[in-house]
Amino acid sequence: MNYDDKFPEFITITCYEWLALIKSNQAKEIIIESLRYLTQQNKIEVHAFVLMDNHMHLIWRIKKGYLRQDIQRDFLHHTAKQILKYLKDNHSEMINQLEVNLKDRKFQVWQRNSLSIELRTKEIYEQKLNYIHNNPVKAGMCIFEEEYKYSSAKFYITNEKDWDFLKQGDE
């Protein structure tokens, strides 16, 4: 693995109170579009991902000149806003569960303090990659990793690139 400045990072982002806020394909597409936008803006590389019903895992690398905390904050803020709008329009009964009435927000979509681990060795990178891809299998959502739509597993296993923003870690 050859990296200019920063190592890839494994990040887990959890929905508020572990609620299934991103169960629908429409909510998942909000996240996909945000990842696509950030890669098109050359702010990140996305190496792997899985979007579950109540959390997501990513392996991403923040590009030189950008700070993870800024990219992550903007990504979470944007996706939260879009998911809230989607929920208000389509699942208004869930909105009350998200009401927090804090100083800086009325509703909350994401748990605070997402887990982030820098992947400095090939072994740890591979471990997290396998963990991501096995997540839907372990949850009983599919039998084979590559069957789950909202994951990068198919890309790694069959070389089919359903997600134009993906970049393998060794590229």
pLDDT in tens, 132-167: 999 999 999 999 999 999 999 999 999 888 889 999
User: For the residues 74-102, what does the mean pLDDT come to?
Assistant: 92
pLDDT in the model for residue 91: 82
Closest by CA to 83, choosing from 73, 72, 70, 94, is 94
Give alpha helix (H) positions in the chain: 25-40, 68-90, 122-138, 153-158
What are 24-42's pLDDT values in tens digits?
999 999 999 999 999 999 9
Angle, alpha carbons 124-20-100 (nearest 5°): 105
pLDDT in the model for residue 134: 97
pLDDT at 7 over 60: yes
Q: Where does the pLDDT of residue 1 fall: very low under 50, low under 70, confident under 90, or very high at 90 and above?
A: very low
Least confident span in 6-15, 73-82, 110-119: 110-119
pLDDT in the model for residue 2: 47
Q: What are the structure tokens assigned to 170, written together? A: 């060794």
Q: Are 15 and 110 in contact (CB under 8 A)?
A: yes
What is the pTM assigned to this prediction? 0.92
